[in-house]
Amino acid sequence: MKTQHFMFETARDVQLHTRVLGEGPTRIVLLHGFPQTGHEWRRVADLLAARGYSVVVPDYRGAGHSSKPGGGYDKFTMAADIKSVCDQLEPSARTTIVGHDIGAMISLAYGFKYPADTSGLVLIDAPLQGSTFMSKARGDPRAWHVGFHQARDIAEYLVQGRERTYLRYMIDVRIFDQTAISQADFDVYLEAYEKPGALRAAFELYRAFDDDSRAVQLCIEATGKLAMPVMTIAGEHSGLAAAMPAMANELASRVENRIAPVSSHWVPEENPGFVVDAICDLLAGL
C-alpha cells in the first residue's frame, strides 16, 4: 500500500508529520496515544486502506516527527491542529476520528469543536475528559502516572536518561499480548521520546487535563452532548473496560460500546482486526 508523508504547518512554529494512505472517498483520521506515535496504527491503517478508505495518520503536536512547541497541549488546541491537516488535504470532506489513549481525548475535543465536520468518533481505551470517572480517578493508585507526569520539571528530571526503562514499564504493565509490540516497534517509540523536548511535550499533555475537562463541560453546557455516533472500544483485560460506557454516555447521546478480546490497553496493536471491523461497522451505519 502506497504511503505518502507530509509535513503540514498547522499553527505558528508547529508542523505535524502525517502519513496518508488509501484513496477512498471516506476519510478516517487515526490519533495515537502516549508513549507512542502514529506508528501504533501501522496494521490498522493498512487494513483500512485495503478496504477502500482514505486514512490519515498524524504524529500529534509534541510527538514523533512533529514539532514540539512549548505550549498548546490542551486537547482543543490539538484538535485544531488535526482540523488544519484535514482542511489542507480536502477541506470539504467530513471525517471519522479514531483515537486511542491521549488520541481519544483529542478526538473527543474534535467532536465538540467541529461537530459539523465530524461523521463519527471511535474512542479507544482512555479516560475521557469532562466525565465523572476522570474526576474520581484522582488518587487512584492505578493512575499514579497521571499525577507524576503533571509534576512539572521533576518528572522530566527523573525520566531523562532512563527513557528505555520507563517506557518499557509503561507499555508492559498494561499489555495482554506480549508479542503485539515487538522490540523493533518499541525502538521506534523510544527513539521518538529520546528526542529533545519530547518528554516535556508528553508530560504537558497530562498537565492540561483540568483545562480539557473544563472545556468539555462548557461545551456541554452551551450545546449539549455530542450528537454524532460515538463508539467506545476497551480491551477485555483493561481496567477501563467497565468505565468507558458510562463515561461516553455522559458526553454523547448516541453511544455503542465494544470490548476487544485478547487485549488490554494497547488495543490497536493487540487486536487490530477487531478495531478495523468496529470502525467499518460504525461507518456502515452512517
8 Å CB contact between 164 and 186 = no
Q: How many domains does the chain divide into?
A: 1
pLDDT computed for residue 20 by the predictor = 98
Q: Are strands 27-31 and 230-235 parallel, antiparallel or unpaired?
A: unpaired
Give the separation between CA 147 and CA 36, rounded to whole angstroms: 19
CATH code of the domain covering residue 132: 3.40.50.1820
Domain that holds residue 255: 3-284
**Cell numbers for 230:** 460515538
pLDDT computed for residue 139 by the predictor = 64
pLDDT computed for residue 135 by the predictor = 78
DSSP per residue, the chain = --EEEEEEEEETTEEEEEEEE---SSEEEEE--TT--GGGGHHHHHHHHHTT-EEEEEPPTTSTTS---SS--SHHHHHHHHHHHHHHH-TT--EEEEEETHHHHHHHHHHHH-GGGEEEEEEES---TTSHHHHHTTT-GGGHHHHHHHSTTHHHHHHTT-HHHHHHHHHHTT-S-TTSS-HHHHHHHHHHHTSTTHHHHHHHHHHTHHHHHHHHHHHHHHH-SB-S-EEEEEETTSTTTTTHHHHHHHHBSSEEEEEETT-SS-HHHH-HHHHHHHHHHHHHT-
From the first residue on, what is the mean pLDDT of each consecutive set of 10 residues in the chain (286 residues)?
Answer: 92 96 94 98 98 97 98 98 96 92 98 97 97 78 88 96 97 96 98 98 97 97 98 96 95 98 98 98 94
pLDDT computed for residue 123 by the predictor = 98
Q: How many residues does the chain have?
A: 286
Give the separation between CA 22 and CA 184, rounded to whole angstroms: 25
